[in-house]
Structure 1
């Protein structure tokens, strides 16, 4: 009996680890719950229940013994869809019977501890190029491409840098948008840039919480009201931080 209880807790650990990685990496709530349920079912659990929010996961397993329930907190969230894909791949291998419980746990641990994000320089370069491209997409002038390129790259750099100094998302996003606004204004002032509004719009686009908004709407449509509203509120707060930084710059012009 004791061995059976231990085995059940091991299954719960694997399910919770998979859910934790996915939720921290930007996966939708329904995907996290579905993956955890599939893993539990593949290891012989007849009935399991999960309650997932952006800040925590509650997972329980029904058995002959009293219901076993575990809770984990989610303190950090980012966007790493590569990790979501890897966990989905492990889940499919478990469902097809190609992976044991112990092997699944070790592979999930490797995914959790791995650093799969691009280097900081690559992220900044990508943000700079996309800022210039967004400028053109919003019918800006090619003459302003360089201004948006520099402002967008500087904005993402400041976001990463200040988030390391003060791990408060609102603060780092506010400072990043403030720097973008100041640089855009300076470029127009010295004659390097021409259309201030287009430069600012293109430069702040890498900061816009697109994935959060998409997941919020998807969760609301799927009936996950708590998660949908929470993610929507987080996206709204990010938008407010970006808007506040730009508004302060424009108000002193």
Structure 2
């Protein structure tokens, strides 16, 4: 039971769930398995769980954090099935392993198109600049492509945000220089929107409001570092060019 509960909690934390949801899910798994007095402590870097009247506790380290809300939803669905008696612990653990081994991601082309649409739309919403809509879509698409490629090639935190921001700033200046766009600032503002750490920042606030101060502060710093990486990339290009 502890192995399955920790496995479920790790998947949720790794993919962007707030701490309170993870604690609730693990507690429900324990209650459904017949251990209502279990204890759990969750942070964004590790989960510790024990069963009352037992001497040993188990710890599940968390080294990777990304955003995949579909995985969180699927873990919640599996926990509800287990609570309803539709699956047992062995099936639950097997399904969690299958979820990690064969994840269902949106294809790259769909991610790129979505990033482009989001960039252009938010540029219009924030800056009311309709003439720069299409070039912002294109630069936002390319920026997300750089972000995706760097994440695949180099496992260095915040490097992907920095290099994607550099590419966006460079392309925005080039587009205005060749008269494909009108405002460098407007194009940059729209194009960086897909990179902004909105979910980590939201979860940081939610963790703080629910009393999970350690995780809330840690998430907030992580979101701040991502924002600094994005801002540094843009600032460097604007300073140089």
TM-score normalised by structure 1 residue count:
0.92
Distance in 1, Cα, partners of 2:44 & 2:174: 39
Confirm whether residue 37 of structure 1 aligns to residue 61 of structure 2.
no
| 2:14 alignment partner, one of 14, 20, 24 | 24
Tell me whether 1:236 sits opposite 2:241 in the alignment. Answer: no
1:195 aligned to which of 173, 178, 183: 183
Partner in structure 2 of residue 52 of structure 1: 42
User: Unmatched 5+ residue regions in structure 2?
Assistant: none
Output the CA distance in 1 between the equivalents of 2:128 and 2:230. Answer: 20
> Does the alignment pair 1:100 with 2:91?
no
Of the structure 1 ranges 131-140 and 195-204, higher mean CA displacement relative to structure 2 is found in: 131-140
CA deviation digits over 1:77-118, x for unaligned, max 9?
111111111111111122222221112111222222222111
Check whether the contact 1:140–1:195 (CA below 8 A) recurs between aligned residues.
no
Q: Distance in 2 between matches of 1:146 and 1:182?
A: 17
Counterpart Cα distance in 1 of 2:102 and 2:233: 34
Q: For structure 1, list consecutive stretches of 5 or more residues without a partner in the other structure.
A: 1-10
Residue 52 (structure 2) aligned to one of 62, 66, 76:
62
Kindly report structure 1 stretches of 4+ aligned residues shifted beyond 3 Å.
Answer: none
1:22-74 CA distances to partner (integer Å, 9 max, x unpaired)? 111111111011100110111011311111111211111113xx333111111
Aligned mates of 1:115, 1:108 — CA distance in 2: 10
Aligned to 1:151: 139
Please give the secondary structure, in 1, of the residue aligned with 2:38.
Answer: strand
Conservation of the 8 A alpha-carbon contact between 2:27 and 2:36 = no
Per the alignment, residue 218 of structure 1 pairs with 206
Q: How many residues align?
A: 241
Residue by residue over 1:116-161, the C-alpha shift from the partner in whole angstroms, topping out at 9 and shown as x without a partner, is 1111121111101110101111133222112211111111111111
Superposition RMSD in Å: 1.1
Match of 1:75 among 52, 63, 66: 63
